[in-house]
């Protein structure tokens, strides 16, 4: 059971799932996606906060839709809801501390790029988009 009623978070989830992100609900799903598979995986730690709504989710959608290169797989976990799935994703994001929202790019199971909350709330939308597109160019 999460911190928020599902009816409240459903449209927030849909903001990313409608853009092609797969919602991971269990630690097993997270482990299956991040455990050294070939290719690139973009993980969005979604949140109900304002910087997720005004910057993180729009930046994710803009970067993915406008990049020539993009990750092979797009996934999301929801902070404050599926705690075990989020904890498993964060294990893979070490040594970075827990942060939501946050965005992580993995290549062949290895964390290669991380955008923490302070990178999101302290930047404008286009800078975040450019950061993501640069990472896609370098690693995808």
- Could you list the active site residues? 49, 51
Rounded Cα gap, residues 71 and 49, in angstroms: 25
> Starting from the edge strand earliest in sequence, which strands make up the sheet with 22-23, in order?
22-23, 73-78, 40-46, 102-107, 110-115
DSSP class of residue 124 equals -
Rounded Cα gap, residues 83 and 55, in angstroms: 23
- Cβ contact 12:46 at 8 Å: yes
């Amino acid at each position: 059971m999460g911190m928020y009623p599902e009816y409240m978070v459903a449209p927030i989830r849909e903001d990313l799932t409608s853009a092609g992100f797969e919602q991971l609900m269990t630690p097993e799903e997270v482990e299956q996606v991040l455990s050294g598979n070939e290719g690139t995986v973009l993980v969005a730690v979604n949140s109900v906060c304002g910087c997720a709504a005004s910057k993180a989710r729009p930046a994710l959608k803009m970067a993915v839709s406008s990049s020539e290169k993009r990750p092979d797989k797009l996934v999301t976990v929801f902070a404050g809801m599926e705690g075990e799935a989020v904890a498993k994703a964060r294990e893979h994001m070490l040594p970075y501390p827990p942060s939501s929202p946050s965005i992580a790019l993995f290549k062949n199971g290895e964390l290669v790029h991380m955008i923490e909350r302070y990178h999101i709330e302290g930047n404008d939308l286009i800078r975040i988009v450019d950061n993501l597109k640069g990472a896609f160019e370098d690693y995808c």
